[in-house]
Amino acid sequence: MADTARQVLGILGSRAACLVLSVVTSAVIAQSLEPEGRGVYYMAVTVATTATMLGHLSGEQAQSALWTGTERREALAGNSVPLALALGTLSGLAGTAFVAVVGPERLNLPGQYLVMMACLSVPFGIASNYAGNIVLLRGRVDVANWSMLAGALAQCAVVAALAAGGRLSVEAAVIVWVAAGCVPLVVFTAAGAAAGRRRDLKLACTTVTTGARYHLGPASVYLLMNADIYLLSALTGAREVGIYSLAVGLAGYSRMLADVVSQVMLKRQFSSSDTESADVTARITRYAVLLATGSALVLTMAAPVLVSAVYGAAYAEAVPLVMLLAPGVMALGASRLPSTYLLRSRRARTVVVPSVISLALNIALNLLLIPLWGAAGCALASSLAYVLLAALQTRLFTRMTGVPARQLLPTAADFLTLLATARRCVPDKRAAV
């Protein structure tokens, strides 16, 4: 537990720095562009991110599932970037074509050019995802930390400089976002942490076909997290998207601790036996539940002060949206490890079915509640769908492993252990005097 906690604290330090940089970047963009301009910016970024997430064909999940065969690991690493760049080019073109067919005006975009600019990021985004997963599977959490920090620092510095000179437009913000998204891949390449000594075309095809079997699940999860943006934009307007997207970003910060734990444990979940992996997943999930709950409570209490102080009075409507989203985001963070464990079974339905059911509920509730309550209805619908997804994934984990559900719930002893471990991992300043 102590070694895991040290790794968690290490990555948490870089995540905390990224969080601060992200808040500063978001605040500068929000204040410079106002809600409507931020909504246009976020819509363009969302289209490009959607192309990235739908076009990666779940390569990371395929890598993790195939990683259990030690003889394939070097080729998986060697294939990662070339395969990702090829898929990403096709995905970027598809995203641009989608907006051309639908019509930019229906998504509250000023023109096709903005989406074309944003979609330049897609090949590099997929390559960063593939390479980053290899880095984590190899246990190089430090390199993953530096890649995130470098990207966040680059975006924050350039956005702040442009805003200070009065030159931060929607177009400039999109260009900076695209450039910053390339930085993690540069870090991985420079460190050689994702490099492999050989490439294997047959294994590349196997990676694509294996990922495609899972892809409906992760694609549904992504759409679950972002379909609300498209529906809200179509049914309301850019201003509402600007405010709601800010609430989504703030709520997402509460998942940071649980996500850090999941990243640190990824190698142990896929490098050990089924029995050991299930035991580790159940044990660490109890701590993830504590961290996710605490983070959600802190965010909910801080949101009224944070929004007004950092983003300004124009975004005050985001506060109740954060509170509505918090329970769902907390549930997703708490269930992150059990959902990852489901990939070990290499049975696509365990990944796909919960995601598709939750996505269908999310779309139905959004179509029902957005016309009634606007962004608040959108937040409520999404939060309920997130809770359903977490419940279904956790139920599948308990059925697959035989681990009783009560073993995933933290006890007072777990809470005390978490506090004691954190104290041991924090340097004693008095000892250094």
Q: What is the pLDDT of residue 419?
A: 81
pLDDT band at 347 (very low <50, low <70, confident <90, very high): confident
Q: What is the pLDDT of residue 427?
A: 53
Q: Are 28 and 162 spatial neighbours (Cβ–Cβ below 8 Å)?
A: no
Residue 429, pLDDT > 50, answer no
Task: Say how far residue 409 (Cα) sits from the centre of its chain.
Answer: 24
Q: How far from 10 is each of 132, 139, 215, 237, 414, CA to CA, in Å?
A: 17, 13, 31, 41, 21
Q: What is the pLDDT of residue 417?
A: 85
Residue 428, pLDDT > 90, answer no
| Mean pLDDT computed over 159-171 | 96
Mention every residue, 6+ apart, whose C-beta is less than 8 A from residue 242: 30, 33, 34, 35, 36, 37, 38, 39, 40, 42, 315
Distance, CA of 282 to CA of 368 (rounded, Å):
37
Residue 431, pLDDT > 50, answer no
- 241-294 pLDDT per residue, tens: 999 999 999 998 888 878 777 777 776 777 667 788 889 899 989 989 998 999
- Number of Cβ within a 10 Å radius of residue 209: 11
pLDDT-above-90 percentage for the chain? 63
pLDDT-above-70 percentage for the chain? 93
Residue 9, pLDDT > 70, answer no
| Mean pLDDT computed over 147-175 | 96
